[in-house]
Structure 1
């Protein structure tokens, strides 16, 4: 197993990890609850420390707004916070900062699948950049979300007050500059409006 330091994360790769099953990866994550752990499509394991307190505050406000929308639209699907991992079609396992899965997709899963890293790609995902994240790395990750089936993906960068909106079939994201704006959930999350000012 070869460790590689990448920005502010530790990437593990090697023959053993390439053969690690989804069940073994889930157990590995349960053994290290103090870490944020993801797996790439190449079965590299990415270890990240918990975010700083200011990022945690922003994430709570992000998820709070999404939850308030969900309270009025429960029948449409389920919302998830940053502790939720999803097994994507390409084999990667990611944990977005906020996400939503339609009722049709969620209810098609067994209870056992729901209790682990559900084999489903959320239709809506948000990645909220923390001070130690690389914008470039996150931008590449947003296209991974789209390739796996996300219908709307947002990358929010508080320090520059930039919001990048990703949609299938668009080679480049739409840039919304300034956190005085609100973002629309469009047809994916009808009626949802994210007040970016709360993430300052």
Structure 2
């Protein structure tokens, strides 16, 4: 979405060629492929572990870090792969999104018309809200556990990024639709 917003605002005359069906298929396919590869690597690494002792997960999500706590075999390779995946999915994607938005903001600030600036900012605001909500909870969950955050806080934040964020996505994006705005005004005013 950050690339789509970048092309729409920074290169509007090139939008139809830069965001054509083949490019969209390539972007979606690459996300699916990278996700499938990452999941396969983590699953394969989990199958080589042995589990003994307590067999209850102290969480409501069955994620890799939670399962590693139950293993009685060495988990060094698993932990390294978790860090690699976190750096790629968290840090690299976050930096690419922020670089895209830096270019977008620079382009918006160069615009002369106030209505053009407002339209461009309103185009990006919903995506930025979703990105901020998602990344803040993911960073808290995956980067702060080393700093001694509690298991209960981790459960609350996991609910935020697995339930609340995806639930709010359609609402946040639909509020940009004029028909939805008119319907909400009729209901509440």
TM-score after normalising by structure 1: 0.25
Bigger strand fraction: 1
State the structure with bigger RCO (CA 8 A, min sep 6), 1 or 2: 2
Structure with bigger gyration radius? 2
Bigger helix fraction: 2
TM-score after normalising by structure 2: 0.26
